[in-house]
Amino acid sequence: MRVSQLFNVTLREAPAEAEVASHQLLVRAGFIRQLAAGIFSFMPLGRRTLTKIENIMREEMNAIGGQEVTMPVVHPADIWKETQRWYQIGSEMGRFKDKNNRDMVLAMTHEEVVADIVRKDIRSYRQLPRLIYHIQTKWRDDPRPRAGLIRVREFTMKDSYSLDADWEGLDKQYRAHYQAYFNIFHRCGIPVIAVKSDVGMMGGQMAHEYMYLTPIGEDTIVLCDSCGYSANRQIAFFQKTPPPAEMPLPAEKVYTPNAKTIEALANYLQIPKQKTAKAVFMVATLPADGGYKEAFVFAIVRGDMELNETKLANVLKAKDLRPATEEEILATGAVPGYASPVGLKDVLVVVDDLIPQSPNLVAGANEEEYHLRNVNYGRDFQANLVADIVAAQDGDPCIRCGAPLRTARGVEVGNIFKLGTRYSDAMGCTFLDKDGVEKPIIMGSYGIGSGRLMACIAEEHHDEQGLIWPITVAPYQVIIVSIGGHQSEKVQAAADALYQELVSKGLEVLYDDREESPGVKFMDADLIGIPIRLTVSERTLQQNSVEFKRRDQSEKRLVPVSEVYGVVKSEIDLLHQAIQAKVVEVPFEG
């Protein structure tokens, strides 16, 4: 492709709203253009990189027995109502009515569609196992799109679905995906870790997320460098050390002016935070009488810990969870800043499992500027539920080995789920086993967002000058830059001939034949990030050579014109080999 014909405009400055490097560089290099919040077009260079990423996905899916299909973007709402997700998912679901006034859905994912196909087509155990996948557009109306392609509303996802006759079959396909996903990410040039995660709206028995660790990530990952334990903070566990035993002391009301926070309270009373009880007020949307109702939740954790809202939602089996308003808090009889469940009625109380083991805590008195000393669980208040509802923090003991945990930020680039019979049961997906017994099909679901993956590759591979694409996903392998080409017939002819030779021998070449200054051409070449740059100029031709430079290295060297193809082909092979060396077997962390 000649740059003079390429539909591409590079920018010297990034848009003001572009805050992270990948967003800035993908826009400046002309790979993407924004249409609206969280909605992007992929321009020719971006489309080529995206296609290479998706072809890597195809190769790895095909290698584990996947068969590619294409499923619709628009779904009738009826199938989402069958699984109840129509009612369980909030405003992020794209809903509309067709001209016949039927409820319709813009695809967020395709479990329901797969289940509808399966219940129509699979009848016998002889048709199992199967694995199907597609690469298709999705829509999730995220209220806070950010960071370019990292968090968008419209996106493309590779999602695959395994179908098995038994749980052993699901285990086998889940583990095959576990490794295949590492292969995909390593072939794309990004390091990832797999962490246990919450099943969320997908449901099922187990899930893993693939995390690219980066400070721009929105997820917090809990890691143990000693034994390798890893989990999303949403579900991470840690060893809890009960405090020393004490005899329960009589409750005592104490004056605590301006002590609305745990820190202020601990400072005023000169006690450690772990001797306090922290009240967190939430409103949960809970199943009730075939529908849902809101319930005020009074969550109690120790003052030195933080509530984990995902754990709380899972304990409650809540569809949704939000912070309570001040008016809702007051309506229960509690006083914000001075609240506790002591003396309150008709509230849903959930306490962390460390609270019953922590004697003589300081808790709110439900009276402005007063707290209660020596509050003890069981004597002074009871809970509806006792469970682990706190978040792991830096330094907490690892649940496995007791070593200190650490936290890191990450971007989720893929996820895998053991769905089990969640959708089969809801939609009647059954088969007859070899004994003629009807059984539900066991399902798994596995997804990777290709646009987000592209952004993470850009985040990992760049410098101050621009992008540095891994050879496997670069839009082109080589860029030819002609210096003085239109002013010098000799340079023009030599650059044209080199371009024709490399293309004819199967290389992917971008040829900058524009009438621009050398500085502009070199800046654009660095910005776009093609792995190998060849420069043709009067100076190089005087030595019957071409200047060779790799984008990821500072060194330049002259290569005789007759040897250019061999040198470039050898370098491309070396780059591929370096990527392939990273594709290794990864132990399964179940």
- Between 28-42, 107-121, 315-329, 521-535, the lowest mean confidence (pLDDT) is in 315-329
Q: Which pLDDT band, with edges at 50, 70 and 90, does 200 fall under?
A: low
Same fold, 252-387 and 476-580: no
Short-list 510, 567, 532, CA closest to 1: 510
pLDDT at 289: 79
> What would you report as the CA-atom Rg of the chain, rounded to the nearest whole angstrom?
29
pLDDT digits (tens, 9 = 90+) for 427-477: 999 999 999 999 999 999 999 999 999 999 999 999 999 999 999 999 999
Q: Tell me what percent of the residues of the chain surpass a pLDDT of 90.
A: 87
Short-list 456, 515, 453, 504, CA closest to 481: 515
Q: Which residue has the higher pLDDT, 344 or 380?
A: 380
Q: Which fold has domain 18-235+407-459?
A: BirA Bifunctional Protein; domain 2 (3.30.930)
Domain boundaries, the chain: 18-235+407-459, 252-387, 476-580
Q: Which pLDDT band, with edges at 50, 70 and 90, does 488 fall under?
A: confident
pLDDT at 544: 96
pLDDT at 485: 54
Q: Which pLDDT band, with edges at 50, 70 and 90, does 90 fall under?
A: confident
Mean pLDDT confidence for 231-260:
92
pLDDT at 220: 93
pLDDT at 396: 95
pLDDT at 126: 97
pLDDT at 204: 65
Q: Which fold has domain 252-387?
A: YbaK protein (3.90.960)
Instruction: Kindly state the tokens that stand for 578.
Output: 């370096």
Average model confidence (pLDDT) across the chain: 94
Instruction: Kindly state the tokens that stand for 206.
Output: 């187990």
pLDDT digits (tens, 9 = 90+) for 510-554: 999 998 999 999 999 999 999 999 999 999 999 999 999 999 999
How many CA atoms lie within 13 Å of 272's alpha carbon, on the beta-carbon side? 8
pLDDT digits (tens, 9 = 90+) for 297-334: 999 999 999 999 999 999 998 888 999 999 999 999 99
What does CATH list as the number for 476-580? 3.40.50.800
For residue 248, cis peptide bond before it (omega within 30 degrees of 0): no
Q: Hey, CA dihedral for 234, 238, 244, 245, is it positive or negative?
A: positive
Q: How far apart are CA 546 and CA 561, in angstroms?
A: 6
- DSSP H/E element including 348: strand 348-352
pLDDT at 199: 73
Cβ–Cβ under 8 Å, residues 195 and 224:
no
pLDDT higher than 90, residue 292:
no
Q: Tell me what percent of the residues of the chain surpass a pLDDT of 70.
A: 99
pLDDT at 424: 96
pLDDT higher than 80, residue 245:
yes
pLDDT at 533: 98
Overall size of the chain counted in residues: 590
Q: How far apart are CA 514 and CA 521, in angstroms?
A: 8
pLDDT at 178: 97
pLDDT at 202: 58
pLDDT at 513: 93
pTM: 0.90
pLDDT higher than 70, residue 486:
no
Short-list 298, 262, 321, CA closest to 382: 298
Q: How far apart are CA 205 and CA 388, in angstroms?
A: 19
pLDDT higher than 80, residue 205:
no
Instruction: Kindly state the tokens that stand for 456.
Output: 């993470």
C-alpha torsion angle, residues 526, 531, 532, 536 (rounded to 10):
-30
Mean pLDDT confidence for 357-385:
95
Q: How far apart are CA 495 and CA 511, in angstroms?
A: 8
